[in-house]
Amino acid sequence: MTTPIEAVPPPACRGTVDGLGTPHPLGDRLPGIYAEDDFALRFVEGLDVVLAPLFNVLDCLEAYFMPSLAPDDFIDWLTTWVGAELDGTEPVPLRRHAVATAVSLHRVRGTYQGLSDAVRLAFGVRPEIAESGGATWSARPLGAFPGDPEPYLRVTLHVPDPAAVDAHRLQAIVSAARPAHLPFTAEVASAPAPLEGTDHV
């Protein structure tokens, strides 16, 4: 008994575009002897169809590196180039936003704000973060040290349906965005129900 082999989808690539003309027809550049050869002209017209998308990409190359204008499939490449914490299943507008804000997010990587923003970007919810650090000041020396002596980091994501959230992905994002020296725990919990009679803005 043979096991059927699953077909592997071909990689995404730029293909021909119906009705897209080339700005540099090859027929215009043939030697004079072929200028009146109908077969030669029709033959190179087929090559023009293949080359037209390449000229189109080169003419619009600047737009390919602008998150707001880049084609959808190119956005997926850009997310890997800028190190965005995405898995490719997010809506295209969110992926564009991730690319556009990647530099500012890398600037605060390893901080409270950076960790909170990374989780919010991936799940659309700002997490609850508890950690052992602290800061204070004193006018006198030998003051008490702030924070807890045992280092820890605890990230809790409150969502309406915890089963719909990939806990392993949350672990991976927290591990990448946390301060490198802190041991951590990351968990998904149910969002508290709103109190009756409470108005929400």
Q: What is the pLDDT of residue 184?
A: 93
The residue type found at 128 is E
Contact between 22 and 48 (Cβ < 8 Å): yes
Residue 95: per-residue pLDDT: 87
The full DSSP string for the chain is -PPPPPPPPPPP-----TT---SS-GGGGS-GGGTT-HHHHHHHHHHHHHHHHHHHHHHTHHHHTSTTTS-HHHHHHHHHHTT----S-S-HHHHHHHHHTHHHHHHTTTSHHHHHHHHHHHHSSPPEEEES------SSSSPPPPS-SS--EEEEEEES-GGGS-HHHHHHHHHHHS-TT--EEEEEEEPPPPPTT----
Domain boundaries, the chain: 26-59, 69-107, 111-136+145-191
CA dist 168 to 25, 44, 92, Å? 53, 53, 22
Are 182 and 151 spatial neighbours (Cβ–Cβ below 8 Å)?
yes
Taking phi over 0 as left and psi of -120 to 50 as alpha, with beta for the rest, 186 belongs to beta
Neighbouring CB atoms inside 10 A of 112's CB total: 14
The residues of the chain scoring below 50 in pLDDT are 5-12, 198-201
The pTM of this model reads 0.63
Q: What is the pLDDT of residue 200?
A: 46
Rounded CA gap, 124 and 6, in Å? 35
pLDDT digits 0-9 by tens, 112-142: 999 999 999 888 889 999 998 888 888 888 8
CATH code for residues 111-136+145-191: 3.30.300
Query: Dmax of the chain from CA atoms?
Result: 96
